[in-house]
Structures are given as C-alpha cells and as structure tokens.
Chain A
Amino acid sequence: MRGIIGYGTYVPYYRLDRSKITAAMGAGGGRGHRAVAGYDEDTTTMGVEAARNALRGSTVTPSSIWFATANPAYLDKTNATAIQAALDLPQDTWAVDAGGSARSAEAALLGAKGTPGISMAVVSDLRTGNPTSNDESNGGDGAAAVIFGDDQDAPVLAHTLGFAASTGEFLDRYRLPGDTSSRIWEERFGEQAYLALAEDAIERATKSANIGMEDIDKVVIAGLHARAVRSLSKIAGDKLVDDLTGRIGNPGAAQLPVLVASVLDQAEPGETILCVHLADGAYANVMRTTDAIADYTPFATVESQIAAGSDNLEYNLYLTWRGFLDREPPRRPDPDRPGAPPTSRSEDWKYAFVGSRDRSSGAIHLPPMRVSMDGGAVDDMERIRMADVPATITTFTVDYLAFSLSPPTVAVVIDFDGGGRFQAEMTDVDPNEVKIGDRVEMTFRRLFTAQGIHNYFWKARPLAD
C-alpha cells in the first residue's frame, strides 16, 4: 500500500491583525489575522522549514522532491534544488519545481505520490495583494510538505480510496509575471464554474472510492476563490474542517496540504476524509487514515505553530516587507552578491549548515575548517550537520547601522548543545527581548537579494517550546 508516511507544515511567526489595515487605510482589512512571512523568508525558505518539520517527525530520506508554488523565488533556475541542499539530501535526489499556479500544488502532490520510492511534495506560497484588497487581508503565507512512500518504507498514515479531477479553462484569477497582485474576475462567474467542476469531481471520486457522502467523516475544501469555497461548503455540513482563514489567511497553493496536515494532526485511525481543491478545475481525493496515525507525532502541529505566532506585526512593516513601502536605506554600501564558485564550494555549509568535527579532539568548527582549532590536526575532519541542534545565547547585540530589509539586525553568539559555536543573525524576535541564556534553534532564511541573487543562509530564532 502506498500513501502518506509523514508530513510537516510551516506557519511563519508573524500575524497581521486585519483591523490594522482598516485603521491605516480606512478601507480593506476585516477581522482576524493573516500569517505573514518575515522579510527574510520566501517560498523556498518556507518550503525548507516545512520539509524540515516533516523529516524531523520521520526517519526516512526522500529520493525525490516535488516543489510547487505560485510565487517562485527564481524563474529559470529550479527552486527545489535549494530545498534539496538545505535538507542535506544526496546528489542522487531528484528535485523539481512545478510552479506558477495555485493548482501546481496538485502536480506536486500527485507527482510525489506517483514517483517510485520515498517522495516528498513541498508546497509553499506567499500571498500579497494591493493594499486594501481582499487578497491582502485574506491571503496568508505558509508551506507544507507531504512524504509519500510504501509500507516497507514506513507505516502509511493515510492512503487514497478514490480520486478524480476536472479541468476548466476560464478566467478566475490571473497575474502577469512580475506583478505583485492578482487580478480577479467577477466572483459570481467563477462561483458557478467551480461548483459544476467540483460536483463532477467529487461524484467521480466518491464513486471510485465506492462510498457515499454519508461515509465521509471530514471534508477539507481549499481554494483561493472564497465565494466558490463557501458555496461548496454546504455539501459538508458539520463535517467541514475549519479552513484557518480567520487565523492565518489563505496560503494559496499551500492551503490544500496545510489543511490536510491540520486534519491529520488530530485524526483518529479509520477516518475518511474528502479533500477538495478548487483551482482552475477541481481536485477531489478521498483519503482514509490507518492505525499508524495513532502512533505518529508530528514535529510541530499546525495548531502549535499558529499559537506560537506574534500578533504584534505593524501594518507599515508588513507593507515594507512586501515591497509596497521603500524605507530610506542606511548610508552604507549595498551588500555584495554571493559569488557562484565560492557558494558552490561551501554548499554543505551555506545550505545544509554542515560544519566539520575534528576526529581526534572532537572540536566542532562552524564554518567548517580544514585545520583544527584544537590541536591543529590537518584534514582530519568529519562532517557534522548542526541545523537541527538547539543552542544557547552566549552574548548578543542589536545593530542599528547594518544593512537590513527590516532594521535593526539582531546578532547572537550561540553555543550549540554538545559543542560548537556560531555567531548568527537572529530572526523572529523582538530586539528588546533577547537575553543571555535564551534558547534558540536554526532556521533557513534569505539574508538579502543582491544583483538578482538570493543569499540564502541560516539564522537563529527562539526555540519553540
């Protein structure tokens, strides 16, 4: 039997209170919160975090990665390669992108499911919209990773009973490459189109699963067309799963796998779940959980991540982070772009946070060094990945002068549990709250972009409880 053998999600730390939009603009906004990717996050980094959470809740190593997003960090260049590198997966991993549309999430999920071996779908999205737009307040940022495999790889947590999809060519939402916000056709037009496509797909999916709607325990409906989603929800009644829009917004392409994960976080064995995705057609997947779900503990649940967020993000910062407000830059030189050859030479360090450990003295070097700082042994090192090792702050500072997309820069000197020290930038933290002795963990971020090159590297963030 093939099915889901692991999963992980990522909900970024920041929340924008929608009433702050209304207060600032006299329009837009609304009630509740949306999740907001930090200034140093993009769909690739959020994908890495979701995939890390999936792998930290599992013991398997995927041999392929299917990455999907409607907001890719790079065009032409594959984004999944950075995810593969950040996860320290070997060269024989097949990492590919499926991108552009919200529907590409389906390509990643079905592609991973259909690729032999252990295969991971990573879906990530970062949603913006013009200030005061519905997309701005109702969008959300986040990512999810789903690992598919067979029984012999790991216990299957859930498997598909029946699946069907439909496709429609019509104008619902659309965005030209480079635009920061989508255009949307009158919603009533899309609503009727989606309802017909969804009913068709759901009927065929339940039929192929050989069940009726009465056999379904939970219904997940995802999609960026809020009106169509709301209308379709009527078929679910009280089986409808909360789509979390009120608390984190709609993370676009990532919404379907995030909601599936939120269901699995709480699912009992033997639950039948209908998962519907409305995006240029309809996708209907009837899933059943196995006994193994009872023994599976996700590394971080969707709920725990929502609860751990900060509601304090100000709207002006949100606009700055998303490029709608340009701050006066510091009177400092722009950062240099990373060079391709040095970046390639240090791939293990830069992307996977792998240092070197002296085989004789045990001293850990971050960054890796060939000559040991303890005893001077030359080229007698083994690689040691520190990305998942917690650390403690030894000293820290706040740099008000350094170049940053969101000054000030918080810098910490951290000592890892079991050895190893690193001077890191710290993120997802109030500069006034940092203290010596605080616990931190590493997170994969985009430090800055210079001359079209995204500079990815690791930062420290407060350790989740």
Chain B
Amino acid sequence: MASHGIKDQVAIVGMGCTPFGERWDKGADDLLIDAAHEAYASAGVIQDDIDAFWLGTMGSGVSGLTLSKPLQIDYKPVTRVENMCATGSEAFRNACYAVASGAYDVVMAIGVEKLKDSGYSGLTGSRPPSDGTDSSLTAPATFSLLAPAYAHKHGLDEETMKEVLTRIAWKNHKNGALNPRAQFRKEVAKETIAASPLVAGPLGIFDCSGVSDGSAAAVIVRAEDAHRYTDKPLYVKALSFSSGPATGALDPSYDYTTFREVRTSAEEAYKQAGISDPRSQIAMAEVHDCFTPTELVLMEDLGFAEEGTAWKEALNGTFDLDGDLPVNPDGGLKSFGHPIGASGLRMLFECWLQLRGEAPPERQIDSDRTLGLTHNLGGQPGACVSFVAVVGSEVG
C-alpha cells in the first residue's frame, strides 16, 4: 500500500476566476456561470465538452444541483465537495484523479462561495447538535494562538512579532494592489496595519483575510491531450491531502508553532513531484494566509525556511514579489478574501498566469524555475486539513 501520485498524467488547459469582493451584484449562481464560462473560453471548449464536474462549496449550496441548475448542465455527473477551507482544492484534486483514472476525458473543477449575504462578521457555519462544550472561538482567535507560541519558542519580543506579522500583511496587500481581480487593490501602510483594531490576540483587522464572494474554475484533461487545447498547459506534478487526528488541543507535545498536517502534506507533495529543495526549486507559492501568523508558520512547514527563521526571512523580503521565493504574488487571501470553496482554485489561477508568463507585467515573476505550489488549509492549529499541489509548465 502506498501513495503514488499522478505526476504529469493530467494537465490544466483552461481557467477562469471572477473578481473577488463584496459582490452585492452577483449571487452564487452568477459567480459560477462567470467562472465556468471564462474557463470554457480559456480552454476553447463548450460546456457539452465537459464530461464531469467537481463543485467545491462549503455553504453556498448542497448537491450537484448547485452547479447543474444555474449552468443548465444536461445530465452529467456533478460531485459536490466540502473539506472546510480546503474545499476548492479538494474539488480540483478529485477532478484530477477522475481524469487520471481514465474515467473521463475532460472535467471541470469549480469552486464558489457567497459569504457576504449572511450579514455576519467573519465566517459562520452550522454545526450538528452538540453537548455545548465545543470551543466557541472564532477563526482569528484560533489562529492567533500561533503568535505568542511562536514568539515564545523562538525568542521574539512582542514588538518584533508584531513587526513580522505586519510585514506579511503589508507584502500581500502590496501584491494585491497590482491585481484587478483582488478584493482589496490598495497598498496599506505598515503603520495602518499595525494600528488596526484588535480582533484576536495580537491580530488586528489587517492581520485577517477579508470576507468576500468569488468563484474560480479549471478545465482538466489527460496530459497527452493537453496540447489539443493550449500550447501552454500546466501539468499537475503533485496533489496531497492530510487530515489530522485533531489532537493539537489534547496533546501536550504539540506546541502551536507548526501545522503537522501541512508538514505531512508538503512532504508527500514533494515526494510525488520529485522536489528535494522547495526553496530553490519552486518559482512561486500561493499559500493559505488566512491570518498573518499562519503564513509565517507555513513558510517553515512548507520547507521554505528553516525552523525558527521564517520571521527573519519575512522581514528580509525573501517572500516578496521580487524576493528569492515569491509567496502570494496575487495578493493572497489577504487581498482576495476567502470565499471558501473558491480560494484553492484562485491560487491555481495565479500559477496558471505566472507559470505561463501571462500575469500582468507589473507582477509577472521573472524566474527560470517552472514549478508553482498551492497550499490550502482548513480548520485550526492542532486540528486541520491541509492540501498541497505542485504544478509545472513543463513535463518531467
């Protein structure tokens, strides 16, 4: 028994991504139609060419009908997928496997979330009836647990920690300012970020990703068919998923400075893709920066920085757009918000643009590396699911 991966067996041949934001003008149906048709056009296909669909949404609908009804899909299989904040990536992963298995020739993975209709701050969700003892902490609070633990372990004082977190937000907003699809398209001064009202622990409102609506989609085919659709396909090098035993809050050996699920999913992805040194082999990464300390810890868990050094690298600009390894060149969740089902596919969309040299020149990464990584996380420190994909513009 072993995991084998499907390196270079399937390829993305078209993508679509709506503008993310407070889309008061569009419902989930509209966003799905927009993303799907942009992807069809990008791949040069029509809807009837798609053999099967994977729809990722956490709460904007249930069942395949959420997609087949607005798109008027004629009696094709539509699988609705949910895997917390990694929902969009999970739709993509399963769609890729369906193609790799030979079951279908052309499939679509599409994700959507319509969050702004709830009227609430932050994310909400319904839970099954419980005994009332579950934590009532909000997402920013659970992720903010990372900050004092990381600072304590690696000897950072409060001010330095705040400076690190602030710089991560500043960098992602700087990138997002260059992206017409982003929810927030303005640079934000470090002073503004650092002085923003507190939401949880040391996290101010600017340490948190926004709440937005959006949708993104990909058309996937067998690698050998890819050039029938595009000259520049993106090959899937690795897909990994890790769902943990959720024992962080039970296990005294967990120190809240890492995501074990991310480490295991990253290791698995690098094995599948044949990557030995991600820091030097990957051209760019889109990671799950739901909150600034998350991105900090991810840099170490994904192997982009040695343990205990990510804070220095973040301050030094290693992960800036012009740094050694650009992280979240599209602006990340910080600039896009986090419409849950869409985020994973939105990350792939940036790889699609960057690795094919089609990002707008002001944020096009100049690199001779050909690999991009996306990372998507759901849950909270100590109890989460983690997804890592590696895609590349060349076979091999």
Residues of A within 8 A of B (CB): 330-333, 335-339, 341-343, 345-346, 349-350, 363-367, 369, 373, 394-403, 409, 411, 413, 415, 419-423, 425, 436, 447, 453, 455-457
Contact = CB atoms under 8 A, between A and B. Distances in A.
Nearest to A338: B132
Contacts of A421: 249-252, 254
Contact of B198 (A335, A349, A400): A400
B129 interface: yes
A447 B136 contact: yes
A337 B134 CA distance: 12
A399 B135 CA distance: 12
Given A373-B245, A373-B251, A436-B148, A409 B136 contact: yes
Interface stretch (B119-127, B314-322, B338-346): B119-127
Contacts of B127: 336
A447 B121 CA distance: 21
Given A373-B247, A399-B138, A415 B252 contact: yes
A399 B247 CA distance: 22
Given A345-B131, A373-B250, A436-B152, A333 B138 contact: no
Given A336-B127, A373-B247, A397 B141 contact: yes
Contacts of A413: 145, 249, 256
Contact of B135 (A333, A401, A423): A423
B145 A367 contact: no
B163 interface: no
B120 A419 contact: no
A394 B136 contact: no
A41 B49 CA distance: 63
A346 B132 CA distance: 10
Contacts of A366: 250
A45 to B, nearest CB: 14
Given A332-B124, A397-B144, A401-B122, A409 B251 contact: no
B130 interface: yes
A135 to B, nearest CB: 32
A397 B132 contact: no
Given A345-B131, A373-B250, A401 B141 contact: yes
Contact of B252 (A401, A420, A447): A420
Contacts of B147: 397
A367 B100 CA distance: 41
A397 B200 contact: yes
B121 A331 contact: yes
A399 B252 contact: no
23 contacts: A331-B120, A332-B124, A336-B130, A338-B129, A339-B129, A363-B251, A373-B247, A394-B255, A396-B201, A397-B137, A398-B200, A399-B141, A399-B144, A400-B199, A401-B122, A401-B200, A402-B137, A409-B137, A411-B145, A413-B256, A421-B249, A422-B249, A453-B132
Contacts of B3: none
Contact of A343 (B120, B132, B146, B149): B132
B131 A394 contact: no
B256 A394 contact: yes
A433 to B, nearest CB: 14
A456 B133 CA distance: 8
B140 interface: yes
A54 to B, nearest CB: 25
Nearest to B255: A394
Contacts of B245: 373
Interface string B80-119: 0000000000000000000000000000000000000001
Contacts of B199: 400-401
B132 A399 contact: no
Given A343-B131, A394-B255, A397-B200, A332 B137 contact: no
Contact of A401 (B121, B148, B254): B121
A158 B141 CA distance: 51
Contacts, number: 134
Contacts of A419: 252
B250 A422 contact: yes
B213 to A, nearest CB: 17
A402 B135 CA distance: 10
Nearest to B201: A397
Contact of B129 (A342, A369, A402): A342
A399 B137 contact: yes
A349 B255 CA distance: 24
Given A373-B250, A413-B145, A421-B250, A400 B200 contact: yes
B106 to A, nearest CB: 41
B133 A367 contact: yes
A402 B201 CA distance: 12
A409 B133 CA distance: 15
A241 to B, nearest CB: 41
A110 B92 CA distance: 70
Contacts of A423: 135, 137, 249, 382
Contacts of A395: 145-146, 148-149, 152, 256
Residue from B124, B147, B251 whose CB has the most chain A CB atoms within 10 Å = B251
Contacts of B254: 421
A465 B143 CA distance: 31
Contacts of B142: 397
A415 B251 CA distance: 9
Interface in B330-375: none
Of all A-B residue pairs in the complex, the 10 with the closest CB atoms, nearest first, are A338-B132, A339-B129, A399-B141, A397-B201, A395-B149, A423-B249, A455-B132, A346-B131, A397-B144, A373-B247
Contacts of B200: 397-401
B131 A396 contact: no
A337 B132 CA distance: 7
Contacts of A333: 120, 124
Residue from B142, B152, B249 whose CB has the most chain A CB atoms within 10 Å = B249
Contact of B119 (A330, A331, A346, A350): A331
Contacts of B122: 332, 401
Interface in B185-225: 197-201
Contacts of B146: 395
Interface in B251-268: 251-252, 254-256
A456 B132 CA distance: 8
Contacts of A367: 133
Given A349-B133, A373-B245, A395-B152, 15 more contacts: A333-B120, A339-B129, A342-B131, A345-B131, A369-B250, A396-B148, A397-B141, A400-B199, A402-B136, A411-B135, A411-B137, A420-B250, A420-B252, A421-B251, A422-B250
A337 B130 CA distance: 8
A422 B145 CA distance: 13
A420 B123 CA distance: 30
Contacts of A415: 252
B240 to A, nearest CB: 22
A386 to B, nearest CB: 12
Contacts of A336: 127, 129-130, 132
Contact of B250 (A365, A402, A455): A365
A6 to B, nearest CB: 30
Contacts of A457: 132-133
Given A336-B130, A373-B247, A436-B148, A398 B201 contact: yes
Contacts of B148: 395-397, 436
Nearest to A457: B133
Contacts of A364: 250
B250 A403 contact: no
A366 B247 CA distance: 9
B117 to A, nearest CB: 14
